[in-house]
Amino acid sequence: MFFQRLKDISLKKIVKRKWTEIKQLTSSDLVKKVGIILDETCFQDKDALIRDLVKKGIRPENIEILVFRDHVSKKETFDYPVFSYRDFKWTGSFDSAVVQRFISQYYDLLINYYPTDKGILQFISQSSRSGFKAGFASVDKKLNDLMIATETDNHSQFTEELFKYLKILNKI
């Protein structure tokens, strides 16, 4: 736990340092491919969130999800790609092929589905290539292009608000 906290502080410093280097990739393209970074410690119903996106017109094969867990046992098997603090080094590089693949892909919309400022999640979000980022209002304001003020348990309200604003912005 102590080392995870130190690693989190280290990653937050790296994220803060990179703000000046990052160019905004915000594009006017329509949303076709969606990436989701989800913190499983705050929200476990991944399937319901994906169902809500599919109901709104996103094709299931165009949805990629990356799930963060505090502790991952080597014996456990998962339906979705999972990463933890173990996959990151102190310098901000990562060992996980799952994380590498997620970051290397381009997403028209990246959903940051986590309500707290965790350095590891911010690092992944900042490193991801996406045209538009959406997330919760409780997270650092520099991270997302669209911030929605809802609770994590209320995924249907989150997707309703998200798609309402995407429609206004002519992204869907």
Give the pLDDT score at 170.
85
**H/E segment holding residue 103:** helix 97-104
Q: Where are the domains of the chain?
A: 2-168
Predicted confidence pLDDT, tens digits, the chain (172 residues): 566 666 666 666 666 666 555 555 556 678 899 999 999 888 888 899 999 999 999 999 999 999 998 877 777 777 888 888 887 776 667 778 888 899 999 999 999 999 888 888 888 888 888 889 999 988 878 888 899 998 888 899 999 999 999 999 888 7
Give the pLDDT score at 27.
61
**H/E segment holding residue 1:** none
CA distance 139 to 34: 20
CA distance 124 to 75: 25
CATH number corresponding to 2-168: 3.40.50
Cβ burial, residue 165 (10 Å; 0-12/13-18/19+): middle
Nearest to 40 by CA among 81, 94, 88, 9: 81
Predicted structure pTM score:
0.83
Q: Which amino acid is at 143?
A: L
